[in-house]
Amino acid sequence: MILATDHWRSRFQAAHLQLLPPLSLDDSPSGNSPDVLPRREKKNALTCVRDRDVLGYIGPFNSPMTLVSEPILNRAGMVQISPGNTTPTLTTPGLRRLLEPATYHHRLAYPTYYRDVTTDVLQGPSDAAFMRERLHARTVFVVDDGAAYGSGLTQEVAAYGTKIGLRKIGTARITSGSTPAPANPSHLNAVADLITAEHPDAVYFGGVGPELDYLLRALRTKGYRRPVVGPDEIHSTFSIDIRRAASDNTYASDYGFDPAALPQSFRRAYRRRFHVPLQIYDGFAYDAANIALNGIYQAAIHGRLHGTLFQRRAAILSYVAHVRWHGATGVTTFDRNGDTTHPILNMYEVRHRNWVFIGLAPRVTGVSPAE
């Protein structure tokens, strides 16, 4: 937001508009109990709504917090753009009555909530497409940990896989928890036996990193060397085994936009301004801020920032809803629900005992971000 504001200040001045520094509010979950975070998000949203100088809201990063702020900001007519929310229900039309009451009751012609990052609904299909197109797999064995996150992803992988020639030839479930193998090593070995008996071209694991660690060791011990693929939880929590080659041929998808794939001009500008390396969501945050500032600027130069505070904020929405923004992460547009039409997932591979970015996941078709 700070870098985007720096870049827009001269244009605002040329149009005789005063662009104030961004109001930075903390929404970090670090060191806070779960019950503190919703209260903080509510306070942040109300702080912005009550400030007559605030015309847009970037964030929050975590999807559950948006359930708190989205209705508050919608009632105020304030645009909200998140660079990190991936939960599909935030833009589901069926929940608009609760999450976007002013839009649902036609006080507003557009939603107020948008996101320029893709949703969980697209991750499973993208992982299936990666296995079929990049790894040339024709068969897959899916494993989950029984949790909603993992089982949902494996179902999406299997369903989309049938459409593109990736056939599921087996399924298994391992004990959910951080250390399933010591608790039940025979179960992990039994799952590994099921997989090796089927000789799949790839294994898809829907779960968290520590569980995959134990499963991988069992698989590699039994001689299975083919690819193992998992979602973002694997990328963020998998402890790469440095003692043996168990982690080789392991892949994971993740959201955000890897810094290596961002334009060099943006990377240089970011480093000059902040003197720290880019993180994977910084490109989306920068684009979200630019889209909001562009909406404010366009509403102003077209003479629409007048009337009540609600009317001034609402005047910005059409310029966000219909934007075609050429930014750091590519060209961003939104569908009628506020979801990006430019879905991006990164793919990573374990190389030399580290996760290495290997490119973007294949694009998928016929999958709606909000179902």
CATH number of the CATH domain containing 106: 3.40.50.2300
Residue 54 placed within a domain: yes
Report the C-alpha gap between 149 and 25 in whole angstroms: 29
The percentage of residues in the chain with a pLDDT greater than 90, rounded to a whole number, is 66
Q: Are residues 69 and 34 in the same domain?
A: yes
As a whole number, the mean pLDDT across the chain is 90
End-to-end alpha-carbon separation of the chain, Å? 30
pLDDT > 90? residue 210: no
Q: What is the mean pLDDT of residues 36-42?
A: 90
Q: Are residues 126 and 233 in the same domain?
A: yes
338-370 per-position pLDDT tens digit? 999 988 889 999 998 889 999 989 988 877 665
CA distances from 65 to 29, 51, 86, 317 (A): 10, 20, 12, 22
- Give residue 207's pLDDT band: very low, low, confident or very high (50, 70, 90): confident
- Going edge to edge, which strands form the sheet with 113-115? 56-58, 79-82, 113-115
Q: Are residues 196 and 209 in the same domain?
A: yes
CA 135 to chain centre: 23
On whether the CB atoms of residues 134 and 362 are closer than 8 A, the answer is: yes
Q: Provide the domain limits for residue 93.
A: 2-118+264-271+280-332
Q: What is the mean pLDDT of residues 197-206?
A: 96
279-326 per-position pLDDT tens digit? 889 999 999 999 999 999 999 999 999 999 999 999 999 999 999 999
pLDDT > 60? residue 183: no
Q: Are residues 218 and 109 in the same domain?
A: no
114-149 per-position pLDDT tens digit? 999 988 888 999 999 999 999 999 999 999 988 877
- Give residue 253's pLDDT band: very low, low, confident or very high (50, 70, 90): very high
How much is the pLDDT for 56? 97
- Give residue 32's pLDDT band: very low, low, confident or very high (50, 70, 90): low
Q: What are phi and psi of 156, to 5 degrees?
A: -70, -40
Residue 177 placed within a domain: yes
Residue 370 placed within a domain: no
Q: Are residues 133 and 103 in the same domain?
A: no
Residue 339 placed within a domain: no
- Give residue 242's pLDDT band: very low, low, confident or very high (50, 70, 90): low
Name every residue whose Cβ is closer than 8 Å to that of residue 186 and which is 6 or more positions away in sequence. none
Locus of tokens 């605002």: 12
The percentage of residues in the chain with a pLDDT greater than 70, rounded to a whole number, is 92
Residue 365 placed within a domain: no
Q: Are residues 223 and 176 in the same domain?
A: yes
Where is average pLDDT lowest: 27-31, 149-153, 310-314? Answer: 27-31
Q: Are residues 138 and 249 in the same domain?
A: yes
Q: Are residues 235 and 297 in the same domain?
A: no
Q: What is the mean pLDDT of residues 103-117?
A: 97
Q: Are residues 244 and 321 in the same domain?
A: no
Tell me the pTM: 0.84
Name every residue whose Cβ is closer than 8 Å to that of residue 289 and which is 6 or more positions away in sequence. 1, 3, 4, 5, 22, 58, 81
pLDDT > 70? residue 178: no
How much is the pLDDT for 154? 92
How much is the pLDDT for 258? 85
Q: Are residues 126 and 230 in the same domain?
A: yes
Residue 103 placed within a domain: yes
Name every residue whose Cβ is closer than 8 Å to that of residue 326 and which is 6 or more positions away in sequence. none
According to DSSP H, which parts of the chain are helical? Answer: 2-14, 36-50, 63-75, 96-99, 101-104, 123-129, 148-164, 180-183, 185-198, 209-221, 232-237, 264-274, 282-301, 309-321
Domains in the chain: how many in total? Answer: 2
Where is average pLDDT lowest: 18-22, 148-152, 318-322? Answer: 148-152
254-273 per-position pLDDT tens digit? 988 888 889 999 999 999 99
On whether the CB atoms of residues 118 and 343 are closer than 8 A, the answer is: yes
How much is the pLDDT for 185? 66
Q: Are residues 160 and 188 in the same domain?
A: yes
Residue 371 placed within a domain: no
Q: Are residues 96 and 129 in the same domain?
A: no
Residue 321 placed within a domain: yes
